[in-house]
Amino acid sequence: MIQSGMDPELFEQFIDQLERYVRERLIPAEREVIENDSIPAPILTEMREMGLFGLTVPEEYGGAGLNTSQYARVVRTMAYAAPAFRSIFSINVGMFNSAIKNGATEAQKAEWWPRIAGGEIACFGLTEPGSGSDSAAMQTTAKPDPGGNGWILNGTKRYITNAPQAKVGLIMARTEKEALPKNAHVSAFIVPMDAPGVSVGSADKKMGQSGAQIADIILEDVHVPGDALLGGETGKGFVFAMKSLDNGRISVGAASTGYARRALDSALRYATERKAFGEPIANFQLIQQMLAESETEIYAAECMMADVTARADRGENILRKAAAFKVFASEMCGRVVDRVVQIYGGAGYLAEYDAERFFRDARIYRIYEGTTQILQLQIAKHMLRDFAAGV
C-alpha cells in the first residue's frame, strides 16, 4: 500500500516554518529545558497547536497524514534542537500510532487517533527490569477478569519514555504461559495512565537528554475492559510491537542524523572562530579531516534515511533496512560528536560549551529502540534466512 502523505508543496512550507521555529524558539529555550529537566508548558502548547503530536495520524481523524518520508524529515528537523523536543511527540507519531494503524479495531482508531492528534502524550511499554529484546522473559501478565469481559494487568515496565507525562500507554503483557507460534504469548493493551492501579515512578536521572523523561510504570491489579485489547485478539502484541519498532528505529536514525548535523555546525563555527598559532584552527588540515569525515558520514545517513523511508512508503518490508539505518546513523552520530569534542579541545570537556552536552546526549541513540548489537544480530539473521530461502 503506497502512502501518499501531505501535499508536497504544503509539506515544504511546513518544513520551512519548522526550521525557523527550531532556530528561533527551541534552541534559545534549551538552557531552560536543561535546568528544569522538562519542556516549558508554553512550548508544549505551541507544539500541540502546530500538530506535531498527530503528524502521522490520518487527516480524517484530526492528524496531518504524513507518510514515512515526511515524518522522518520532521524528526530530523526537530532533532537539530535538544533531544527532548523530539522525544515528547515521537512515541505518539511513531510507535504508538504505528501500532494503532497496524493492529487496532475501527472503534479503537476512532477513540485514540483524535486524542493523540490533539496532543495527549503516549508511551510504549515493552521493556521490563528483566526483559527488553527477549520477550520470552516478559513477566507482566494480563489475565481474564473473572467478574467480566475485561483483563487484569500486573507487572512493571522500565525505562519508559514519556511515562511521567503520558495519558495513555500501549502495554505489552503475557496472556499465555507460552504459545506457538513464537511470541504468541504476548498481547498488547491500550491502558489509560490514570486507570486505578497504574503508578509511575520518579523520573530517572540520566547521562544526557535533559527534559526527555523516562520512568518505571507499575501495574497493580489494573482492570481494563475487553476493548482495551489491541485488535481485539490475543497473541498479536509482539507482532504489533515489532512492526512499530521499525518506525521507532527510523525515528532514532533520523534524530541521530539531525543531531549530528547540529554538532557539526557547532564545530565548524568554533573552528573558524578559535585561533591557535595566529590563525583559525579551521586552517589546520587535521581539523579539516575531522570536519570532512563528519560531513561524509552525515550525508551517508541522509541517503539511507531517504531510501528506507521511500521503501516504507511503497509498502515494502523494511525490517532489515530500518535496523541498518538505525545502526549506522546512531553509531555515526557517536563518531561525529566525539570528533566535535576533539575539535573544541579542552573547551569540549567543559559543561559551559555545547560539545560536552552533544557527546552525552548522543550516547543513548546507540542503545534504545534496539541496541546496535541486537540489531546487528537481527540483520544477520534475516540475511541468512533470505539466503537459505534463495531470496
**Cell (9 digits) for 203:** 523520573
The reply to whether omega before 192 is within 30° of 0 (cis) is: no
Among 296, 360, 357, 382, which Cα is nearest to 27's?
A: 357
Place of cell 560536552: 356
The DSSP result for 205-261, as a single string, is P-SS-TT--EEEEEEEEEEE-GGGBGGG-TT-HHHHHHHHHHHHHHHHHHHHHHHHH
**Cell (9 digits) for 94:** 511513531
State the Cα torsion 56-57-58-60 to the nearest 10°. -150
Mention every residue, 6+ apart, whose C-beta is less than 8 A from residue 167. Answer: 115, 120, 121, 122, 192, 193, 194
Active site residue: 120, 128, 297, 369, which one?
369
3-state percent helix, strand, coil for the chain, nearest multiple of 5: 60, 15, 30
Inter-residue contact 266 to 359 (CB < 8 Å)? no
Q: For residues 77 and 71, what is the distance between their CA atoms, to the nearest angstrom?
A: 10
State the Cα torsion 125-127-132-137 to the nearest 10°. -90
Q: For residues 245 and 253, what is the distance between their CA atoms, to the nearest angstrom?
A: 12
Question: How far, rounded to the nearest angstrom, does the alpha carbon of residue 316 sit from its chain's CA centroid?
Answer: 21
Place of cell 520518579: 202
Told to judge if 233 belongs to the known catalytic residues of this protein, a careful annotator would answer no
Q: For residues 43 and 138, what is the distance between their CA atoms, to the nearest angstrom?
A: 37
Mention every residue, 6+ apart, whose C-beta is less than 8 A from residue 259. Answer: 79, 80, 83, 333, 337, 358, 361, 362, 365
Q: For residues 91 and 136, what is the distance between their CA atoms, to the nearest angstrom?
A: 24
Angle between helix 237-273 and helix 285-313 axes, rounded to 10 deg: 150
Q: Which residues are annotated as catalytic?
A: 369
